[in-house]
Structure 1
Amino acid sequence: MKHLNKFVVAVLMFAGLSSQAQDKNNPWAFSFGVNAVDGGRVSAAESIKNQFSEYFNANDNWSVVPSVSYFGVSRYVGDNFSFGVTGSFNKIEKFVGPKFDGDYVVAKTDLAYYGIDGVINYSFGTFVKYFEPTAHIGGGYTFLGDNSAGTVNGGLGLNIWFSETVGLSLRSTYKHSFEDDRTVMPTHMQHFAGLTFKFGGKDTDGDGIYDKDDACPEVPGLKQYNGCPDTDGDGIIDGNDACPDTFGLAEFQGCPDTDGDGIADKDDACPEVAGPKALNGCPDKDGDGIADKDDNCPEVKGPKENKGCPWPDRDGDGVLDKDDKCPDVKGTVANNGCPEVTEEVVKKLNDFAKSILFDTGKSTIKASSFETLASIKNVMNEYPSAKFRIEGHTDNTGKLATNERLSKERAAAVKDYLIANGVDASRLESEGYGPSKPVADNKTAAGRAQNRRTEVVVIK
């Protein structure tokens, strides 16, 4: 039975490594302080009530060494559990014997006391930031004078934390002995009071938040952001902040909207002045759909094709210059802004044309007709979009082929003269019809004179 008890105690003792509560960030703890041994009263008393009735009677029953008398090391394993081992020594000067004539006998002794105990510790959590109640079970081996025995242990404790890693530890342990002879090893209580230091936590960036809980372990940050920085202080961590160095709004991923137009400055082409999204945040005073910065006429509506300015109508004919084929000459809408050649104008041209004279039998224009041709040119240039055909005609005197050739050459000579003197070549063409289109009777000299003519026709 004795050896079985020692085996059970050994299993319990090495089941874990902690007598203090730790956490995952500081998994290790070291503790030291003083211990007091209640000299056997709990095994001497006849009832549970009597066993613990003198729990706080330190003067009569406790033995205390006035120096550091216990050391402990522990390891957190998760779910509020930690395992550890504690070594202690004491000098037993008071030993409570059996009850005699109604009183307990307190014997004076001088016995060396050594204990090594393995403990499974459970933390109930921290209350009011500082107080952490605990419960523990375990086992150990105790040496008392020349005797030794295993014990099964259990008890309660309280940690009072001064900081995250330093605290005061108080613990009372009931040590149940398996020895039948309580003079060999009585069941007793041992009390501990000391300092505990937690350690083993890693804080790479030194921001006071351990790496295991730090979402940004390489960069110093704030506790409220799980260790991540918020450089601009806008409440959005830098990792989620599109503008980490400038205070901004959450709706814009931490970027500012200086002009309050609902467009973040980084996406706003005009961040200092409010404007619509359609224009990338730039204003449009005249409402023509062109941002003021790109609008050459920001106060007046105009098309984009003309850089925000209204199309001009220089000649005031009601046809905009962009559509006006004669922007500097007043015309009609029907003729695309160009003046229309009226019948009166055509008559005027032909009155001039009738007086054009050629050398006999030739296409050479006589010098006396140059002034007439200048007048024809001036009239034609008043209608810059109009196209004209110069037509040559002869009488029926002579050979037909000769007349047709001569009519063509004379019409071409007039055309070439007008082009040479300022009429656009694209507006003129010529043709000769010989005697095929008489306007009078070729039987008379007067009729033949009328048939020998130059005409100007408007090309529709």
Structure 2
Amino acid sequence: MQAQSEDNPWAIGIGVNAIDFYPVGEDMPQGDMFNEYFNVEDHWNIIPSVSKLTVGRYIGAGFSAELAGSLNRIDKFGDASTDDLTYYGIDGGVNYSFKELINPEGWFDPYLSLGGGYTWVDEEGFGTANGGLGFNFWLTDNIAFNVESKYKHAFDNELNKHFQHSAGFKIAFGGTDTDGDGIYDDEDECPETPGLEEFNGCPDSDGDGIPDKDDACPELAGPAEFNGCPDSDGDGVADPQDECPNVAGLESLNGCPDADGDGIKDSEDECPNEAGPAANNGCPWPDSDGDGVLDKDDQCPDVAGTAANNGCPEVTVEVINELNEYSKTILFDLGKSSIRKESYDALDSISEIMNEYPQTVFHIEGHTDSQGSDAFNLKLSKERAASVRNYLVEEDGIDASRITSEGYGESRPIATNKTAAGRQQNRRVEVSLEKNREE
């Protein structure tokens, strides 16, 4: 910006001044206000040397304070001539610039000034109230050609009021540019590192159009969509976040490929060309028994079964019937729950069948005929069912959790109790499925 401002708060001026007493009076030898305002030859007092010095300080919001010292020699007092009189003036005031309002980036800088001072003409001194209009024409950022016209109203004598015109050069200075990039520190977002004006003084080391301070990869050129980082493999994942920066991959896998599409990146997939779950390291689950139920879900992975029974074989009616063919041959000592030795083969055959269905829970039922008391029959049936269960568990190694037993006494006859043949059928042990039994 070309102006005295916060960047260059100080300004000194050097120039010449002209004193004109004529266009401020009402009678001869002074004319009316502004009369013959530009009559340089007849009314202006000028000495051919540097005759005015100023020093100013920017305050803010277009305002600046200025102190001026000037000298001259007076030989024209309006239309009258006079002996050469010495003229000294010391003035102070405040200037307000219109530059920000009319052309912030331009060179034309008009301003108004208000203030006061003290003037000596020969040996007479008097105070003045000052008001003026001036123009700075900024030739560079720091140097301006200045013209100004200021009215000085004298308090002690109407004859001493006058205009002072001046022209010269003004030099603005005082701005700090630590890194020397031409951008003052107060506007430089990177004041200690040389940078570019387009980035408010910050550098762009890799030339990708993103200043280093906002560039996640300041030494490597990259597009804005990746915060200035490159995407070497073109997969839409910036290299710093890409775990496989040289091989195009998927954003969901941090830029790594997944050839079989199973959601496991190839570098961690033990079967990169064959889809499988993460739980099996990217390889498909096996089905060892070929029953259509994967081993991970198959409770009987080495025995073909059904999906409905979690991969285990299901007990059919035929199997239950086979079990009960063996159970019919189980014999007990008379009126007791002890099993006769000749029944052991039948029990072993029952356990072999049960082992084919490792996930099935079987139920051993004990029944009696109607002879004897109900209480005795119920107790005997419970004990005989328990004896069968104990043999299968303790002798044949069936898991105890897979066999339950219960006695029902004479409550569930399958034949008449009036004949010996019927009572023999009712004295029995049966095998059923635990989930199907009725209480």
Measured against the shorter chain, the TM-score band is 0.5 to 0.7
1:429 equivalenced with 2:404 (yes/no): yes
Q: Which residue of 1 aligns with 2:99?
A: 125
After TM superposition, give the deviation of residue 72 of structure 1 in Å. 2.2
* 1:382 matches 2:366: no
Query: Contact (CA 8 Å) 2:147, 2:165: kept in 1 or not?
Result: no
Q: CA deviation at 1:378?
A: 0.9
2:391 alignment partner in structure 1: 417
2:45 pairs with 1:64? no
Are the aligned partners of 1:75 and 1:82 in contact in 2 as well (CA < 8 Å)? yes
Q: Which amino acid aligns with 1:35?
A: V
Cα distance change on mapping 1:286 and 1:44 into 2, 3 Å? farther
Q: State the Cα distance separating 1:120 from its structure 2 match.
A: 5.7
Q: C-alpha offsets along residues 158-210 of structure 1, whole Å, 9 cap, x if unaligned?
A: 4354654554545466778899999xx796765443443455x7899999546
Mapped to 2, the partners of 1:45 and 1:170 lie a distance apart of 24
CA contact 1:407–1:432 (8 Å) conserved in 2: yes
Which residues of 2 match residues 235-384 of structure 1 at below 5 A?
273-275=249-251, 313-319=287-293, 326-332=300-306, 335=309, 337-356=311-330, 363-367=337-341, 369-384=343-358
Structure 1 residue ranges without an equivalent (≥5): 1-20, 100-105
One-letter code of the match for 1:132?
D
Aligned position for 1:35: 16
Aligned match for 2:66, one of 49, 67, 84: 84
1:340 deviation in Å? 3.5
Cα distance in 1 for residues equivalent to 2:30 and 2:203: 62
- Give the corresponding residue for 1:8: none
Alpha-carbon distance in 2 for matches of 1:62, 1:357? 150
1:143 aligns with 2:127: no
**Contact 2:17–2:165 (CA<8 Å) still a contact in 1?**
yes
Is contact 2:22-2:43 (8 Å) kept? no
Offset at residue 315 of structure 1 (A): 3.3
Counterparts of 1:145 and 1:170 in 2: how far apart (Å)?
26
Q: Give 1:345's aligned amino acid.
A: V
Paired with 2:380 and 2:37, the residues of 1 have a C-alpha distance of 154
Partner AA of 2:402 in structure 1: R
Q: Which amino acid aligns with 2:90?
A: I
Q: 1:419 Cα shift?
A: 0.9
The root-mean-square deviation of aligned C-alpha atoms, in Å, is 6.3
Give the match for residue 159 of structure 1: 136
Report the equivalent of 1:12.
none
Deviation at residue 451 of structure 1 after TM alignment: 5.2
Cα distance between partner residues in 1 of 2:388 and 2:51: 135
> Partner letter of residue 71 of structure 1?
L
1:114 aligned onto 2:91: no
Q: How far apart are the structure 1 equivalents of 2:391 and 2:279? A: 41
- Output the amino acid matched with 2:68: T
One-letter code aligned to 2:71: F
User: Which SS does the other structure have where 2:291 is aligned?
Assistant: coil
Match of residue 168 from structure 2: 193
Aligned counterparts of 1:225 and 1:75: Cα–Cα separation in 2? 29
State the Cα distance separating 1:338 from its structure 2 match.
3.6
**Contiguous gaps of at least 5 residues in structure 2:** none
Output the CA distance in 1 between the equivalents of 2:156 and 2:346: 152
Say if 1:190 and 1:441 are closer, same or farther in 2 by CA, change over 3 A: closer
Output the amino acid matched with 2:53: F
The whole-number CA distance in structure 2 between the counterparts of 1:119 and 1:64 is 26
- Aligned mates of 2:63, 2:6 — CA distance in 1: 11
CA distance in 1, matches of 2:170, 2:108: 14
Preserved contact between residue 4 and residue 58 of structure 2 (Cα < 8 Å): yes
Distance (whole Å) between structure 1 residues aligned to residue 78 and residue 319 of structure 2: 150
Taking structure 1 as the reference length, the TM-score comes to: 0.59
Cα distance in 1 for partners of 2:165, 2:308 equals 118
- Residue pair 1:394, 1:452 contacting (<8 A) in 2 also: yes
**Identical columns (%):** 46
The aligned amino acid for 1:64 is P
**Alpha carbons 2:19, 2:162 under 8 Å: kept:** no
> Aligned in 2, Cα 1:64/1:383: closer, same or farther, shift over 3 Å?
same
Q: TM-score, normalised by structure 2?
A: 0.61
**Structure 1 residue 386: Cα displacement:** 3.6
| Equivalent pair of 1:117/1:138 in contact (CA under 8 Å) | yes
C-alpha contact 1:83 1:121 (8 A) present in aligned 2: yes
| 1:46-65 residue CA offsets vs partner (Å, 9 max, x unmatched) | 9989774556999xx74234
| Cα distance per residue 1:298-333 (max 9 Å; x no partner) | 877778998987776543334566665544432345
The one-letter amino acid paired with 2:319 is V
Distance 1:335 1:145, change over 3 A: closer
Higher alpha-carbon deviation: 243-252 or 131-140: 243-252
Aligned residues between the structures: 415
Matched-pair contact (CA < 8 Å) for 1:324–1:337: yes
Distance of 1:145 and 1:403 partners within structure 2 = 152
Amino acid at match of 2:16: N
Q: Which moved more, 1:34-43 or 1:385-394?
A: 34-43
Per the TM alignment, residue 416 of structure 1 is displaced from its structure 2 partner at its CA by: 1.6
Following superposition, the deviation at residue 132 of structure 1 comes to 3.4
- Residue 305 of structure 2 aligns to a residue whose secondary structure is coil
User: Distance between the aligned counterparts of 1:314 and 1:52, measured in 2?
Assistant: 114
Paired residue secondary structure (2:251): coil
Moved more, 260-269 or 110-119: 260-269
